[in-house]
Structure 1
Amino acid sequence: MGRPAGVNGADTRRAVRKAAIERIWRHGFEAMNLRDLAADVNLRLGSLYNHVPHKQEFLAELLEEIMLELLQDFAQRMDGLQDAKERLLAFVRFHIEWHTARQRETFIGNMELRSLTPEQYGRVIGLRKDYEAQVRAIVADGRKAGLWEVDDVRVTTLALLSLLTGISAWYREGGRLSQERLIRIYQRLALRVLGAR
Protein backbone atom coordinates (compact mmCIF):
# COMPACT_ATOMS: atom_id res chain seq x y z
CA MET A 1 0.00 0.00 0.00
CA GLY A 2 2.78 2.44 -0.94
CA ARG A 3 2.37 5.30 -3.35
CA PRO A 4 0.47 4.21 -6.48
CA ALA A 5 2.42 4.21 -9.75
CA GLY A 6 2.41 7.59 -11.45
CA VAL A 7 1.60 9.52 -8.27
CA ASN A 8 4.27 11.98 -7.16
CA GLY A 9 5.00 13.37 -3.71
CA ALA A 10 3.19 16.66 -4.39
CA ASP A 11 0.03 14.75 -5.37
CA THR A 12 0.29 12.69 -2.20
CA ARG A 13 0.82 15.82 -0.11
CA ARG A 14 -2.30 17.40 -1.64
CA ALA A 15 -4.31 14.23 -0.94
CA VAL A 16 -3.09 14.16 2.67
CA ARG A 17 -3.95 17.81 3.11
CA LYS A 18 -7.45 17.38 1.67
CA ALA A 19 -8.14 14.32 3.83
CA ALA A 20 -6.76 16.05 6.93
CA ILE A 21 -8.97 19.10 6.39
CA GLU A 22 -12.00 16.82 6.11
CA ARG A 23 -11.06 14.85 9.25
CA ILE A 24 -10.28 17.93 11.34
CA TRP A 25 -13.51 19.59 10.19
CA ARG A 26 -15.59 16.52 11.08
CA HIS A 27 -13.88 15.36 14.29
CA GLY A 28 -11.52 18.11 15.48
CA PHE A 29 -7.75 18.13 15.46
CA GLU A 30 -7.28 16.29 18.75
CA ALA A 31 -9.46 13.42 17.55
CA MET A 32 -7.69 13.12 14.20
CA ASN A 33 -6.02 9.72 14.20
CA LEU A 34 -3.01 9.37 11.90
CA ARG A 35 -3.76 5.72 11.21
CA ASP A 36 -7.21 6.70 9.91
CA LEU A 37 -5.71 9.57 7.93
CA ALA A 38 -3.24 7.18 6.30
CA ALA A 39 -6.12 4.87 5.37
CA ASP A 40 -8.03 7.82 3.86
CA VAL A 41 -5.22 8.41 1.36
CA ASN A 42 -4.29 4.75 0.87
CA LEU A 43 -0.87 5.00 2.53
CA ARG A 44 0.95 2.91 5.08
CA LEU A 45 1.26 4.70 8.40
CA GLY A 46 5.04 4.76 7.98
CA SER A 47 4.69 6.46 4.59
CA LEU A 48 2.34 9.04 6.05
CA TYR A 49 5.11 10.15 8.41
CA ASN A 50 7.00 11.43 5.34
CA HIS A 51 4.22 14.01 5.01
CA VAL A 52 3.13 14.34 8.64
CA PRO A 53 6.23 13.80 10.79
CA HIS A 54 4.69 15.77 13.70
CA LYS A 55 0.94 16.09 13.96
CA GLN A 56 0.91 19.50 15.64
CA GLU A 57 3.48 21.03 13.27
CA PHE A 58 1.42 19.65 10.39
CA LEU A 59 -1.59 21.61 11.70
CA ALA A 60 0.49 24.78 12.01
CA GLU A 61 1.81 24.38 8.47
CA LEU A 62 -1.71 23.69 7.20
CA LEU A 63 -3.11 26.85 8.81
CA GLU A 64 -0.16 28.89 7.52
CA GLU A 65 -0.64 27.53 3.99
CA ILE A 66 -4.31 28.47 4.08
CA MET A 67 -3.49 32.02 5.14
CA LEU A 68 -0.72 32.36 2.54
CA GLU A 69 -3.14 31.21 -0.17
CA LEU A 70 -5.69 33.75 1.06
CA LEU A 71 -3.13 36.55 0.95
CA GLN A 72 -1.90 35.57 -2.51
CA ASP A 73 -5.42 35.30 -3.92
CA PHE A 74 -6.38 38.64 -2.33
CA ALA A 75 -3.33 40.38 -3.81
CA GLN A 76 -4.27 39.10 -7.27
CA ARG A 77 -7.87 40.25 -6.86
CA MET A 78 -6.87 43.74 -5.70
CA ASP A 79 -4.15 44.23 -8.30
CA GLY A 80 -4.65 47.47 -10.19
CA LEU A 81 -7.56 48.77 -8.08
CA GLN A 82 -7.02 52.30 -6.75
CA ASP A 83 -10.35 53.81 -5.68
CA ALA A 84 -11.21 52.93 -2.07
CA LYS A 85 -14.88 52.20 -2.81
CA GLU A 86 -13.95 49.94 -5.71
CA ARG A 87 -11.43 48.17 -3.46
CA LEU A 88 -14.01 47.79 -0.69
CA LEU A 89 -16.58 46.21 -3.01
CA ALA A 90 -13.90 43.93 -4.50
CA PHE A 91 -12.79 42.95 -0.98
CA VAL A 92 -16.34 42.03 0.06
CA ARG A 93 -16.79 39.93 -3.08
CA PHE A 94 -13.42 38.25 -2.63
CA HIS A 95 -13.91 37.51 1.06
CA ILE A 96 -17.32 35.94 0.55
CA GLU A 97 -16.30 33.91 -2.50
CA TRP A 98 -13.11 32.65 -0.85
CA HIS A 99 -14.63 31.79 2.53
CA THR A 100 -17.73 30.09 1.13
CA ALA A 101 -15.62 28.04 -1.28
CA ARG A 102 -13.37 27.00 1.63
CA GLN A 103 -15.82 26.61 4.49
CA ARG A 104 -13.93 23.70 6.05
CA GLU A 105 -10.61 25.55 5.98
CA THR A 106 -12.27 28.64 7.46
CA PHE A 107 -13.82 26.58 10.24
CA ILE A 108 -10.63 24.82 11.26
CA GLY A 109 -8.67 28.06 10.88
CA ASN A 110 -10.90 29.61 13.52
CA MET A 111 -11.46 26.60 15.80
CA GLU A 112 -8.04 24.99 15.87
CA LEU A 113 -5.86 27.97 16.73
CA ARG A 114 -6.21 26.68 20.30
CA SER A 115 -4.28 23.54 19.32
CA LEU A 116 -1.14 25.47 18.34
CA THR A 117 1.92 26.21 20.46
CA PRO A 118 2.44 29.92 21.26
CA GLU A 119 5.11 30.16 18.55
CA GLN A 120 2.90 28.48 15.93
CA TYR A 121 -0.05 30.62 17.00
CA GLY A 122 2.07 33.74 16.55
CA ARG A 123 3.02 32.76 13.00
CA VAL A 124 -0.58 32.16 11.94
CA ILE A 125 -1.90 35.27 13.68
CA GLY A 126 0.86 37.30 12.02
CA LEU A 127 -0.50 36.29 8.61
CA ARG A 128 -4.03 37.13 9.72
CA LYS A 129 -2.83 40.54 10.80
CA ASP A 130 -1.34 41.07 7.32
CA TYR A 131 -4.77 40.49 5.80
CA GLU A 132 -6.44 42.67 8.40
CA ALA A 133 -3.93 45.47 7.69
CA GLN A 134 -4.80 45.43 3.99
CA VAL A 135 -8.51 45.71 4.76
CA ARG A 136 -7.78 48.43 7.32
CA ALA A 137 -5.93 50.38 4.60
CA ILE A 138 -9.06 50.29 2.43
CA VAL A 139 -11.18 51.65 5.30
CA ALA A 140 -8.60 54.33 6.14
CA ASP A 141 -8.15 55.39 2.51
CA GLY A 142 -11.90 55.75 2.04
CA ARG A 143 -12.18 57.86 5.19
CA LYS A 144 -9.31 60.06 4.04
CA ALA A 145 -10.96 60.49 0.63
CA GLY A 146 -14.25 61.47 2.31
CA LEU A 147 -16.12 58.45 0.96
CA TRP A 148 -17.32 57.36 4.40
CA GLU A 149 -17.15 58.23 8.06
CA VAL A 150 -15.89 55.84 10.71
CA ASP A 151 -15.18 56.56 14.37
CA ASP A 152 -12.34 54.05 14.62
CA VAL A 153 -10.68 52.46 11.58
CA ARG A 154 -9.38 49.38 13.41
CA VAL A 155 -12.65 48.57 15.18
CA THR A 156 -14.60 49.09 11.95
CA THR A 157 -12.20 46.78 10.10
CA LEU A 158 -12.63 44.04 12.70
CA ALA A 159 -16.42 44.47 12.55
CA LEU A 160 -16.37 44.10 8.76
CA LEU A 161 -14.21 40.98 8.91
CA SER A 162 -16.46 39.39 11.55
CA LEU A 163 -19.59 40.24 9.57
CA LEU A 164 -18.23 38.72 6.38
CA THR A 165 -16.48 35.66 7.82
CA GLY A 166 -19.66 34.62 9.64
CA ILE A 167 -21.23 33.72 6.28
CA SER A 168 -18.99 30.66 6.03
CA ALA A 169 -20.77 29.12 9.04
CA TRP A 170 -24.22 29.10 7.47
CA TYR A 171 -23.91 29.52 3.69
CA ARG A 172 -25.07 26.54 1.63
CA GLU A 173 -24.75 26.37 -2.12
CA GLY A 174 -28.21 26.08 -3.66
CA GLY A 175 -29.81 27.82 -0.66
CA ARG A 176 -32.54 30.46 -0.74
CA LEU A 177 -30.19 33.19 -1.93
CA SER A 178 -27.57 32.82 -4.61
CA GLN A 179 -23.99 33.68 -3.75
CA GLU A 180 -24.19 36.66 -6.13
CA ARG A 181 -27.28 37.99 -4.33
CA LEU A 182 -25.56 37.59 -0.96
CA ILE A 183 -22.50 39.45 -2.23
CA ARG A 184 -24.64 42.39 -3.34
CA ILE A 185 -26.47 42.45 0.01
CA TYR A 186 -23.20 42.36 1.94
CA GLN A 187 -21.63 45.04 -0.25
CA ARG A 188 -24.50 47.34 0.70
CA LEU A 189 -24.18 46.31 4.36
CA ALA A 190 -20.47 47.10 4.29
CA LEU A 191 -21.13 50.55 2.88
CA ARG A 192 -23.70 51.16 5.64
CA VAL A 193 -21.29 49.98 8.34
CA LEU A 194 -18.79 52.51 7.01
CA GLY A 195 -21.35 55.30 6.87
CA ALA A 196 -20.75 55.74 3.14
CA ARG A 197 -21.89 59.08 1.76
Structure 2
Amino acid sequence: MDTFMTPSNMPMKKATPSFAEPHLQVRNIALTLFAEQGYQSVSLRKLASALGIQAGSLYNHIASKQDLLFELIDEHETDLLDAIEASVRSNMKPAEQLLAYIRTHIDFNVKHAHRRSITQLEFRNLSPEQQGETLAIRNMQADILSNIIQQGIQQNAFNPIRFKASETLLLAMLNEAAFLVSTDGNTVLDDIIVSLQTIITSLLVRTPTSRRLAAQ
Protein backbone atom coordinates (compact mmCIF):
# COMPACT_ATOMS: atom_id res chain seq x y z
CA MET A 1 0.00 0.00 0.00
CA ASP A 2 1.27 3.46 -0.88
CA THR A 3 2.20 5.73 2.00
CA PHE A 4 1.51 9.42 1.57
CA MET A 5 4.53 11.65 1.93
CA THR A 6 4.94 15.41 2.02
CA PRO A 7 8.17 16.61 0.38
CA SER A 8 10.07 19.06 2.55
CA ASN A 9 10.14 21.65 -0.22
CA MET A 10 6.38 21.56 -0.84
CA PRO A 11 4.55 24.60 0.62
CA MET A 12 1.95 23.09 2.89
CA LYS A 13 -0.52 24.05 5.55
CA LYS A 14 0.19 22.92 9.07
CA ALA A 15 -0.93 19.34 9.52
CA THR A 16 -4.14 18.66 11.40
CA PRO A 17 -5.78 15.36 12.37
CA SER A 18 -8.24 15.62 9.48
CA PHE A 19 -5.39 16.34 7.07
CA ALA A 20 -4.12 12.78 7.64
CA GLU A 21 -7.11 11.44 5.73
CA PRO A 22 -5.86 10.50 2.23
CA HIS A 23 -8.53 12.34 0.25
CA LEU A 24 -7.98 15.55 2.19
CA GLN A 25 -4.24 15.23 1.67
CA VAL A 26 -4.76 14.84 -2.08
CA ARG A 27 -6.99 17.92 -2.07
CA ASN A 28 -4.51 20.00 -0.11
CA ILE A 29 -1.56 19.14 -2.35
CA ALA A 30 -3.68 19.62 -5.48
CA LEU A 31 -4.84 23.01 -4.22
CA THR A 32 -1.25 24.19 -3.89
CA LEU A 33 -0.13 22.78 -7.23
CA PHE A 34 -3.16 24.02 -9.20
CA ALA A 35 -2.79 27.51 -7.74
CA GLU A 36 0.97 27.81 -8.20
CA GLN A 37 1.48 25.94 -11.49
CA GLY A 38 -1.93 25.95 -13.18
CA TYR A 39 -4.42 23.13 -13.54
CA GLN A 40 -3.32 22.14 -17.05
CA SER A 41 0.34 21.95 -16.00
CA VAL A 42 -0.33 19.53 -13.15
CA SER A 43 -0.57 15.97 -14.45
CA LEU A 44 -1.78 13.10 -12.33
CA ARG A 45 1.80 11.82 -12.37
CA LYS A 46 3.05 15.12 -10.96
CA LEU A 47 0.32 15.16 -8.33
CA ALA A 48 1.07 11.58 -7.34
CA SER A 49 4.80 12.33 -7.14
CA ALA A 50 4.14 15.23 -4.77
CA LEU A 51 2.14 12.86 -2.60
CA GLY A 52 4.79 10.13 -2.72
CA ILE A 53 2.53 7.53 -4.33
CA GLN A 54 2.03 5.89 -7.71
CA ALA A 55 -0.18 7.71 -10.23
CA GLY A 56 -2.59 4.79 -10.46
CA SER A 57 -3.16 4.91 -6.72
CA LEU A 58 -4.75 8.34 -7.01
CA TYR A 59 -7.92 6.71 -8.30
CA ASN A 60 -8.37 5.15 -4.86
CA HIS A 61 -9.00 8.68 -3.59
CA ILE A 62 -10.39 10.75 -6.50
CA ALA A 63 -12.63 10.06 -9.49
CA SER A 64 -10.64 12.27 -11.86
CA LYS A 65 -8.48 15.39 -11.91
CA GLN A 66 -11.40 17.41 -13.24
CA ASP A 67 -13.69 16.21 -10.44
CA LEU A 68 -11.00 17.18 -7.95
CA LEU A 69 -10.86 20.67 -9.46
CA PHE A 70 -14.63 20.97 -9.29
CA GLU A 71 -14.63 19.89 -5.65
CA LEU A 72 -12.17 22.65 -4.76
CA ILE A 73 -14.09 25.31 -6.70
CA ASP A 74 -17.48 24.19 -5.41
CA GLU A 75 -16.24 24.24 -1.83
CA HIS A 76 -14.89 27.76 -2.21
CA GLU A 77 -18.06 29.17 -3.76
CA THR A 78 -20.30 27.41 -1.24
CA ASP A 79 -18.22 28.53 1.74
CA LEU A 80 -18.23 32.11 0.43
CA LEU A 81 -22.01 31.98 0.09
CA ASP A 82 -22.33 30.67 3.66
CA ALA A 83 -20.04 33.44 4.96
CA ILE A 84 -22.04 36.13 3.19
CA GLU A 85 -25.36 34.76 4.44
CA ALA A 86 -24.02 34.68 8.01
CA SER A 87 -22.77 38.27 7.90
CA VAL A 88 -25.67 39.95 6.09
CA ARG A 89 -28.43 39.83 8.71
CA SER A 90 -32.06 40.72 8.11
CA ASN A 91 -32.19 43.14 11.05
CA MET A 92 -29.55 45.37 9.45
CA LYS A 93 -30.30 48.48 7.43
CA PRO A 94 -29.43 48.21 3.71
CA ALA A 95 -26.29 50.36 4.12
CA GLU A 96 -25.12 48.11 6.97
CA GLN A 97 -25.84 45.00 4.92
CA LEU A 98 -23.87 46.44 2.03
CA LEU A 99 -20.83 47.10 4.21
CA ALA A 100 -21.05 43.60 5.70
CA TYR A 101 -21.23 42.10 2.20
CA ILE A 102 -18.19 44.07 1.04
CA ARG A 103 -16.06 43.18 4.06
CA THR A 104 -17.02 39.50 4.04
CA HIS A 105 -16.47 39.06 0.31
CA ILE A 106 -13.01 40.61 0.33
CA ASP A 107 -11.89 39.15 3.65
CA PHE A 108 -12.93 35.61 2.69
CA ASN A 109 -11.23 35.70 -0.70
CA VAL A 110 -8.03 37.12 0.76
CA LYS A 111 -7.90 34.45 3.47
CA HIS A 112 -8.41 31.74 0.83
CA ALA A 113 -6.20 33.17 -1.90
CA HIS A 114 -5.29 29.83 -3.49
CA ARG A 115 -8.91 28.73 -3.70
CA ARG A 116 -9.93 32.14 -5.04
CA SER A 117 -7.24 31.96 -7.71
CA ILE A 118 -8.30 28.50 -8.83
CA THR A 119 -11.96 29.47 -8.83
CA GLN A 120 -11.36 32.47 -11.08
CA LEU A 121 -8.68 31.09 -13.40
CA GLU A 122 -9.62 27.44 -13.78
CA PHE A 123 -13.41 27.70 -14.11
CA ARG A 124 -13.01 27.17 -17.87
CA ASN A 125 -11.62 23.68 -17.25
CA LEU A 126 -14.84 22.43 -15.66
CA SER A 127 -17.41 20.46 -17.63
CA PRO A 128 -20.54 22.33 -18.79
CA GLU A 129 -22.55 20.66 -16.04
CA GLN A 130 -20.00 21.58 -13.39
CA GLN A 131 -19.87 25.15 -14.69
CA GLY A 132 -23.64 25.32 -14.41
CA GLU A 133 -23.56 24.22 -10.78
CA THR A 134 -20.84 26.75 -10.01
CA LEU A 135 -22.71 29.56 -11.72
CA ALA A 136 -25.85 28.70 -9.74
CA ILE A 137 -23.96 29.29 -6.48
CA ARG A 138 -22.43 32.51 -7.81
CA ASN A 139 -25.89 33.68 -8.77
CA MET A 140 -27.05 33.12 -5.20
CA GLN A 141 -24.16 35.27 -3.97
CA ALA A 142 -25.10 37.96 -6.49
CA ASP A 143 -28.77 37.71 -5.54
CA ILE A 144 -27.93 38.71 -1.97
CA LEU A 145 -26.21 41.84 -3.27
CA SER A 146 -29.14 42.50 -5.61
CA ASN A 147 -31.62 42.26 -2.74
CA ILE A 148 -29.55 44.66 -0.63
CA ILE A 149 -29.48 47.23 -3.42
CA GLN A 150 -33.17 46.79 -4.23
CA GLN A 151 -34.17 47.23 -0.59
CA GLY A 152 -31.97 50.29 -0.30
CA ILE A 153 -33.62 51.86 -3.33
CA GLN A 154 -37.10 50.99 -2.08
CA GLN A 155 -36.33 52.52 1.31
CA ASN A 156 -34.92 55.63 -0.36
CA ALA A 157 -31.53 54.89 1.22
CA PHE A 158 -29.76 54.24 -2.10
CA ASN A 159 -29.79 56.23 -5.29
CA PRO A 160 -31.83 54.72 -8.13
CA ILE A 161 -29.29 53.07 -10.40
CA ARG A 162 -28.97 50.95 -13.50
CA PHE A 163 -29.37 47.84 -11.45
CA LYS A 164 -27.68 44.91 -13.22
CA ALA A 165 -24.77 46.99 -14.50
CA SER A 166 -24.05 48.29 -10.99
CA GLU A 167 -24.23 44.82 -9.47
CA THR A 168 -21.73 43.48 -12.03
CA LEU A 169 -19.42 46.44 -11.43
CA LEU A 170 -19.51 46.02 -7.66
CA LEU A 171 -18.68 42.30 -7.85
CA ALA A 172 -15.80 43.01 -10.23
CA MET A 173 -14.45 45.60 -7.79
CA LEU A 174 -14.66 43.14 -4.90
CA ASN A 175 -12.81 40.44 -6.83
CA GLU A 176 -10.13 42.86 -7.97
CA ALA A 177 -9.66 44.15 -4.42
CA ALA A 178 -9.12 40.63 -3.08
CA PHE A 179 -6.59 39.94 -5.86
CA LEU A 180 -4.73 43.18 -5.07
CA VAL A 181 -4.39 42.37 -1.38
CA SER A 182 -3.31 38.79 -2.11
CA THR A 183 -0.57 39.77 -4.58
CA ASP A 184 0.73 43.10 -3.24
CA GLY A 185 2.61 42.78 0.01
CA ASN A 186 2.34 46.52 0.62
CA THR A 187 -1.45 46.53 0.46
CA VAL A 188 -3.23 46.31 3.81
CA LEU A 189 -6.53 44.42 3.90
CA ASP A 190 -8.34 46.86 6.18
CA ASP A 191 -7.19 49.83 4.08
CA ILE A 192 -8.58 48.26 0.92
CA ILE A 193 -11.87 47.36 2.59
CA VAL A 194 -12.36 50.86 4.03
CA SER A 195 -11.44 52.50 0.73
CA LEU A 196 -13.80 50.31 -1.26
CA GLN A 197 -16.58 50.80 1.27
CA THR A 198 -16.13 54.56 0.93
CA ILE A 199 -16.22 54.43 -2.88
CA ILE A 200 -19.27 52.17 -3.09
CA THR A 201 -21.11 54.02 -0.34
CA SER A 202 -20.55 57.33 -2.11
CA LEU A 203 -22.01 55.86 -5.28
CA LEU A 204 -25.07 54.24 -3.74
CA VAL A 205 -26.06 55.92 -0.51
CA ARG A 206 -28.41 58.87 -0.89
CA THR A 207 -27.20 62.08 0.70
CA PRO A 208 -29.37 65.17 1.36
CA THR A 209 -27.83 66.75 -1.76
CA SER A 210 -28.60 63.75 -4.00
CA ARG A 211 -32.19 63.69 -2.69
CA ARG A 212 -32.64 67.37 -3.56
CA LEU A 213 -31.24 66.83 -7.04
CA ALA A 214 -33.50 63.82 -7.62
CA ALA A 215 -36.52 65.87 -6.58
CA GLN A 216 -35.79 68.67 -9.04
**TM-score, with normalisation over the residues of structure 1?**
0.87
Q: Which of 136, 158, 162 is matched with 2:172 structurally?
A: 162
Tell me, yes or no, if the aligned pair for 1:21 and 1:105 is still in contact at 8 Å.
yes
Q: Which residue is 1:2 aligned to? A: 3
Tell me, yes or no, if the aligned pair for 2:30 and 2:47 is still in contact at 8 Å.
yes
Q: Which of 60, 68, 81 is matched with 1:58 structurally?
A: 68
Q: Aligned-residue CA RMSD in angstroms? A: 2.4
- After TM superposition, the structure 1 = structure 2 runs for residues 145-184 of structure 1, keeping only pairs within 5 Å, are 145-172=155-182, 175-184=185-194
1:40 aligns to 2:41 (yes or no): no
- In the superposition, relative to structure 1, how do residues 172 and 53 fare at CA in structure 2: closer, same or farther (>3 Å)? closer
CA distance in structure 2 between the aligned counterparts of 1:187 and 1:164, rounded to whole angstroms: 10
5+ unaligned residues in a row in structure 2: which ranges?
6-15, 208-216
- In the superposition, relative to structure 1, how do residues 73 and 144 fare at CA in structure 2: closer, same or farther (>3 Å)? same
- Identical-residue share of aligned pairs (%): 24
Q: Which residue is 2:93 aligned to? A: 83
Q: Which moved more, 1:135-144 or 1:53-62?
A: 53-62
Q: Deviations over 1:64-109 (max 9, x none)?
A: 1111111112222224543111100111111110111122211221
CA distance in structure 1 between the aligned counterparts of 2:107 and 2:149, rounded to whole angstroms: 20
SS in structure 1 of the partner of residue 41 of structure 2: coil
1:117 aligns to 2:127 (yes or no): yes
Tell me, yes or no, if the aligned pair for 1:150 and 1:156 is still in contact at 8 Å.
no
SS in structure 2 of the partner of residue 120 of structure 1: helix
Shift of 1:177: 4.1
5+ unaligned residues in a row in structure 1: which ranges?
none
| Bigger CA radius of gyration | 2
Q: Which residue is 2:34 aligned to? A: 24
**TM-score, with normalisation over the residues of structure 2?**
0.80
CA distance in structure 1 between the aligned counterparts of 2:166 and 2:105, rounded to whole angstroms: 16
CA distance in structure 2 between the aligned counterparts of 1:110 and 1:88, rounded to whole angstroms: 23
Tell me, yes or no, if the aligned pair for 1:150 and 1:195 is still in contact at 8 Å.
no
Aligned length: 196
Tell me, yes or no, if the aligned pair for 1:156 and 1:194 is still in contact at 8 Å.
no
Q: Which residue is 1:103 aligned to? A: 113
